[in-house]
Structure 1
Amino acid sequence: MTPNYKEFKTVIGGREVTVETGKYCEQTSGSCIVRCGETVVMVNVTMSPTAKEGQDFFPLTVDYQEKMYSVGKIPGGFTKREGRASDKAILTSRLIDRPLRPLFPKGLFNDVVVVATALSVDPDIAPEPFAMLGSSIALSVSDIPWAGPTGSVVVGLVDGKYVINPDLKQKEKSTLHLNLAGTKDAIMMVEAGSKEISDDEMVGAILFGHEEIKKQCAFQEEIVAAVGKPKLEMDLYHVPEDIDAAVREYASDMLDKALDTFDRHERQEGQDAVEKAVLEHFAEIYPGKEREMKDSLYYLTKEKVRRKIIDKGIRPDGRTLTEVRPIWCEHGILPRVHGTGLFTRGQTQVMTTCTLAMLGDAQKLEGLDDEDTKRYMHQYNMPGYASGEARGIRSPGRREIGHGALAERALAQVIPSEEEFPYAIRMVSEVLSSNGSTSMGSVCGSTLALMDAGVPIKAPVAGVAMGLIKDTETGKVAVMTDIQGLEDFLGDMDFKVAGTEKGITAIQMDIKIKGIDEAILRKAIAQANDGRRHILGKMLECLPKVNDHMSKYAPEIISFKINPEKIREVIGSGGKVINKIIDETGTKIDITDDGVVSIAAVANHEMLERAKAIVLSIAKDPEVGDRYLTEVVRILPRTGAFCELAPGKDGMIHISKMSDKRIESVEEVLAIGDKVKVEVIKIGEKGIDLKLLEKIEG
């Protein structure tokens, strides 16, 4: 039935991994099943037979699908089916995409689609690294032109030792979560969150992971030798030699003059004028070849800008390779917002807001792992006006979700625990102006916003983006600190590093060439460390320490624990008791299953304490000697007065315990509604006996 079925085995991180081909999805260009323990991932790749008419870029689409049946769950919602991809699925799609994309041949404009589907997931064996591995295998055995294979691992740092693809217990102890991909020769992609680890520890983790990647690449080469299809001979797009030569000869001197300025707008105007002149000059010589002429001019511009940087150390805006653009910052600029931070570096400007709320407002998650809420949220928005584009507002795309996640990962390491700071925290970074590294601007603006809001972060965090230009012919390399948009666009690497004065908290690397080696990696990280410390210094000049007070518009939240067995009494039938407390005090109350009570109020500390006292009075069983400030709720004239010690919990002051003198009727001393101070003198089967200590007048 399946004559083409093949099975291959290897060991990754101490676990056996099985790869199956030739059994499923026979109409794809390439397909495989990857199994590790009870985790199973299927990857399929396809390519369109031709490129779309007029296509001028490589349309690679990568989708990672989280199927809820893989963990034995039925999706929520009305339709009970998977809908829009979760943020985690989108981030995984980006992880798969980034090491694959640079290895496709230039000029390939056919649609290529990679679909990785989690079919079965063991919580102890994360499916993401195997989706990345499977994507490389599927492309390698397919007939699609691609210069792989690549390997992929997660590296943890547990008790000072590096671990490949750590399990849940190891992840809890790990000070590092590093996603790594590369070829047998070089590193292609780095994505990490860490707890202020050193530069050497980060480089060590990357090199440790690369050794495992080399083994994976060798394993894949065996698979390709056994079942790989011959690669298609493609008619790849390129600029005809005669057009390229003519454009270069005509435009070279004009372009040199246009690029000989450090002013961005003046430079762009000059480049536009050169393009116009080229198109007009060659309109009759090469009719209908505007695209080819523009492409030739683009490659010429790229060569000239890169040559200036790598040979002369001159960047487009005149800075040295290690120089950071001018920085200025503000905080507390929006009066009703709980915290704000504005970070400006050159023409990149980001404003971040901080909103504080109860833990019950934490984001609810529905995914394949056990995490169901997230109390620290970071979101990133970049409207068209930030880059001068006339583009309407759209829902967040993959780039926005990725940038928000990077900033969130950079700052999550310094956010206080729930016990230290019982708040849900939502950060929103609004990009106001963009010219390079808005994600790192978001990190810096967010640190200022958190400090402005009075959140007791463990240390301020700053971020910087590094760039790389590598001349493959001469071997010359230029590493640039704080790259701007043009350097990112024309360069070979975007390497973002965030951290505190002590160490790295997040790192992300995107490579456009076929990887970087250890020497370049060490140089980039060391140079980033210097740039990060410089930026931190500028931020702390604006706001030297965390505010010692919170906004008057932020909720004050107190948190304490009660016996979980008392939760039902605090809530009451149908929520009657807790709703009464909320109505009486104007507070908001959340109670977790393990008995943690959080009470919030805005600018009303007295009612906050009142609500706390009521909850504690319900949750605590009265003891002899306890004293209460309470109210008379019912009277038996000849017997006594009943007082509410807590909702649904009364005690009685016997008539004999109301006065030193003999009285005939309770009403001689007390009336319904009187405020009284009482003491518990006896607890028996019939109820709680009280003694009147004081009647509160007025």
Structure 2
Amino acid sequence: VVRRWLLDEQKRVDGRKMDEIRPLAAEVGLLPRVHGSGMFTRGQTQVLTVCTLGTVSEAQKLDGIDGQEQKRYIHHYNFPSYSVGETRPSRGPGRREIGHGALAERALEPMIPSVEEFPYTIRLVSEVLSSNGSTSQGSICGSTLALMDAGVPIKRPVAGISCGLITEGDRWMTMVDIQGVEDFFGDMDFKVGGTEKGITAIQMDLKIVGLTYDIIKEAFEKTYKARMYILNEIMLPVLPAPRPELSKYAPKVKSIHINPDKIREVIGSGGKVIQKITADCGVKIDIDDDGTVVVASTDAEGIRRAISIIETIVNDPEVGAIYKGKVTRLMNFGAFVELAPGKEGLVHISKLDMGRVEKVEDVVAVGDEVIVKVTEIDQQGRINLSRRDALIAMEAKKHAGK
């Protein structure tokens, strides 16, 4: 009955025309605490996608025949039983869920910026809230919205749509945006994801022997028109472009390049130096063999401090430069200040303050952070510091600013 009605009347079970899409809706920013979120609704099909950003070191590691590979863009698709009004135990993902997740992942992968442009690991999770066909294509649309909401600079927005087919002898009819009953009774589920410029992913489920060229051509034409409608009329009016800034809850990332020969000094014996920087500044540090250092944290000040320490470690202190250091030891003749792990200098008692100092303990204590100026590096590499000169320089800079 359904097949004949589609072929003879060219009407569908819900009264739509063959090239008509179900009612559409799109929203972004539904979940304020996550890094990005987008919900896409098509008829009774509704998908909520969440985007999470992490550091490059959190990329998924895959063991293959050719060795270990890393995957920095990941898409997971979940199809809970309640989305189709059923109750069953929630177990691991099945073949269908893995396949749908892979399709949506592949549709968006060409649009993901390179690690040089966007040094983050990106994870998308699509949760199907309600299902009546085409949830994988809804996941593509929801994922695009979530990425843009998270501030990921994707090259172009991607949308997905399905095309169905009914055949009887030499007669055939295609239809866009098939729902569950049309998928069940129809001969084809042709899923197409892409941008305004072209196609990024295709999957076809076919129940007949094959397709003619005319059927394929019409399927591509109908899905292109449908994608353009979804993009231009539904998705882009909600969020025309990726947000200019990341969520305040997303980790901030900054990278610098150091001499590869200095990597050992930054890591330290048994990792002591890098662990201390990580603990003191509340950051995560990744170092590549080529000398690229990536520092990540939700605290921008922590990133700045960590990079300052690393630069001090890899660069020899310069005479005349001002640094912030921590007092490590007190002696009768002055205080030792650590500029960076493994680099310590002496502030003589005569250069501790603006006036005369009777006791070192009257001015500083162990653990205090002080600003000091490098006054001399002798032939043995010992660093002489002056807190007094640093205070004078800072005061002069303050007055100059006014």
Q: Which residue of 2 aligns with 1:617?
A: 312
In terms of mean alpha carbon deviation, does 553-562 or 333-342 score higher? Answer: 553-562
Q: Which residue of 2 aligns with 1:644?
A: 338
Find the aligned partners of 2:126 and 2:354 in 1 and give their Cα distance: 68
Shift of 1:670: 5.8
Contact 1:674 1:695 in 2 (8 A): no
Q: Which residue of 2 aligns with 1:324?
A: 21
Distance 1:448 1:668, change over 3 A: closer
Contact 1:636 1:666 in 2 (8 A): no
Which whole-Å deviations, capped at 9, do the CAs of 1:323-370 have from their partners, x for residues lacking one?
111101111112222211110001111011111111222111112245
Which whole-Å deviations, capped at 9, do the CAs of 1:508-559 have from their partners, x for residues lacking one?
1222211213222222112111111111121112222222333232222222
Task: Determine what percentage of the aligned residue pairs are the same residue.
Answer: 56
2:293 to 587, 592, 597: 597
Contact 2:322 2:373 in 1 (8 A): yes
State how 1:319-398 maps to structure 2 within 5 Å: 319-370=16-67, 372-398=69-95
Give TM-score scaled by structure 2 length. Answer: 0.88
SS of the residue aligned with 1:539?
helix
Supply the AA of the counterpart residue of 2:260: P
1:410 to 89, 103, 107: 107
Contact 2:113 2:153 in 1 (8 A): yes
Root mean square deviation, CA, Å: 2.6
State how 1:467-616 maps to structure 2 within 5 Å: 467-471=164-168, 473=169, 475-537=170-232, 538-602=234-298, 604-616=299-311
Distance 1:311 1:333, change over 3 A: same
Find the aligned partners of 2:123 and 2:369 in 1 and give their Cα distance: 45
Shift of 1:480: 1.1
Which whole-Å deviations, capped at 9, do the CAs of 1:124-143 have from their partners, x for residues lacking one?
xxxxxxxxxxxxxxxxxxxx
SS of the residue aligned with 1:547?
coil
Contact 2:55 2:119 in 1 (8 A): yes
SS of the residue aligned with 1:366?
strand
Distance 1:684 1:479, change over 3 A: farther
Q: Which residue of 1 aligns with 2:399?
A: none
Find the aligned partners of 2:361 and 2:219 in 1 and give their Cα distance: 86
Find the aligned partners of 1:335 and 1:397 in 2 and give their Cα distance: 30
Find the aligned partners of 1:438 and 1:667 in 2 and give their Cα distance: 71
Shift of 1:668: 9.7
Give TM-score scaled by structure 1 length. Answer: 0.52
Q: Which residue of 2 aligns with 1:676?
A: 371
Distance 1:347 1:614, change over 3 A: same
Find the aligned partners of 1:621 and 1:654 in 2 and give their Cα distance: 21
Shift of 1:562: 2.3
SS of the residue aligned with 1:684?
coil
SS of the residue aligned with 2:390?
strand
Distance 1:405 1:664, change over 3 A: closer
Contact 1:675 1:695 in 2 (8 A): no
Find the aligned partners of 1:479 and 1:674 in 2 and give their Cα distance: 73
1:630 to 322, 325, 346: 325
Supply the AA of the counterpart residue of 2:57: G
Matched, 1:447 2:144: yes
SS of the residue aligned with 1:535?
helix
Contact 2:372 2:385 in 1 (8 A): no
Find the aligned partners of 2:315 and 2:188 in 1 and give their Cα distance: 61
Shift of 1:439: 0.4
Q: What runs of 5+ residues in structure 2 fail to find an aligned partner?
A: 395-402
Supply the AA of the counterpart residue of 1:605: A
Find the aligned partners of 2:284 and 2:68 in 1 and give their Cα distance: 25
Supply the AA of the counterpart residue of 2:171: K
Structure with higher RCO (Cα < 8 A, 6+ apart):
2
Find the aligned partners of 2:4 and 2:153 in 1 and give their Cα distance: 47
State how 1:50-65 maps to structure 2 within 5 Å: none
Shift of 1:658: 6.6
Shift of 1:371: 5.3
In terms of mean alpha carbon deviation, does 524-533 or 589-598 score higher? Answer: 589-598
Supply the AA of the counterpart residue of 2:79: M
Find the aligned partners of 1:318 and 1:641 in 2 and give their Cα distance: 85
Shift of 1:666: 8.3
Find the aligned partners of 1:510 and 1:481 in 2 and give their Cα distance: 15
Q: What runs of 5+ residues in structure 1 fail to find an aligned partner?
A: 1-303
Find the aligned partners of 1:469 and 1:528 in 2 and give their Cα distance: 16
